[in-house]
Structure formats: C-alpha cells, structure tokens
Structure 1
C-alpha cells in the first residue's frame, strides 16, 4: 500500500472520529437538566411589596414630566433601582460559617 493513501485514510478516520465525538458531546448537553444554573430567589423583589411599589410607579408614570419634581416619585424610582440592581447585596454570598466567625472577632 502506498504511504500517501495510508496517510489519507488515517486523516479521514481522525476527522470522522473528531466529528463524531463533537456531535456526541453536543447532544449529551441537551438531555441533561441545567442544574448548575444560578436560581433567582425572587425576581423583581419581594412579592408582597410589588403592588405598593407598582402603584407608586404607575402614578409617577401618569404624572408625566411633573413627576421629575415630585419627591415621592424620586423615592419610588430610587427604591426601584435599588431593588433592580440589588445595590445593598454583597458581591459574593457569605456562608454561615464566615458570618459566625466575623461575629466572634468583632
């Protein structure tokens, strides 16, 4: 057998094996549930507070440009931004062990 033909056969076999492995890997990810995805506890904030906040925001929306001078609207918008961007939450969750250790050293 010629060396060139053998090299071509090996190359075709290697490419076929690689494609088969890639397709198999892609299909395995579709069947598996996404258990590692982070879960959002309460998207949009506490559900018990939503009707009150929503009614304030609707009122401000209905005021139009007059809402810019309304202090209640500015407070409602600030609260909505704080809830949406979660400004007061730490970047990384603190484990109960770390929280207890910090309490002992203080």
Structure 2
C-alpha cells in the first residue's frame, strides 16, 4: 500500500516539474521574440508626409488634379504595401536559375 502512494506522489511531482519547465520555456521564448522584433524607424511617422496628406485631404476633389497630392498618395501606397522590399526571397525558378 505504501508503494502505491509513493508511486503516485512521484508521478504528481514529475508532472508538476514538467509543467513548470514547459511554462518557463514558453515565457523565455516570448522574451526572445521581443528582442528580435523589428523597430519602427520613425514611431510618430514622417511629419512632412503627414502634413502633405492632410493638405490633400482638405483639398477634397481638387486634390485629384494636384500633382503633389498624386505623388504623396503614390508614395504612401508604396510605403504601406512595402513594394520596394519583398517579404520573402524569390524562388530560383522565378529568377530563371539553372538546374544542374
């Protein structure tokens, strides 16, 4: 009878130790991701760009004919959609790579 109680106690301690190790490992992974997170270059945004976009917004439909507004909108779309930097590298097939 004492052997069954001892075995159960050992099992409970083992499960508890395993859960503690798992929780600690998960918390450490979250901390590491924060360190590797990309930083925002200008947290408040570019004030000149914001002023230009606000000016264009205030112009209403007249902004459609304004070249500066069209340029500001195109730059904002490019920045928003990150058209200048692809998220993932292209495959060798897309680059026309040789198959040796």
TM-score (norm 2): 0.55
**What is the deviation of 1:12?**
1.0
**What is the aligned partner in structure 2 of residue 55 from structure 1?**
51
Q: Does 1:76 align with 2:72?
A: yes
- In the TM superposition, 1:13-52 aligns within 5 A as 13-26=13-26, 28=28, 34-40=34-40, 42-43=41-42, 50-51=47-48
Structure with higher RCO (Cα < 8 A, 6+ apart): 1
How far apart, CA to CA, are the structure 2 residues paired with 1:18 and 1:25?
11
Number of matched residues?
Answer: 87
Unaligned runs of 5+ in 2: 90-100
TM-score (norm 1): 0.53
**What is the aligned partner in structure 1 of residue 11 from structure 2?**
11
How far apart, CA to CA, are the structure 2 residues paired with 1:55 and 1:8?
69
How far apart, CA to CA, are the structure 1 residues paired with 2:55 and 2:31?
47
Unaligned runs of 5+ in 1: 94-106
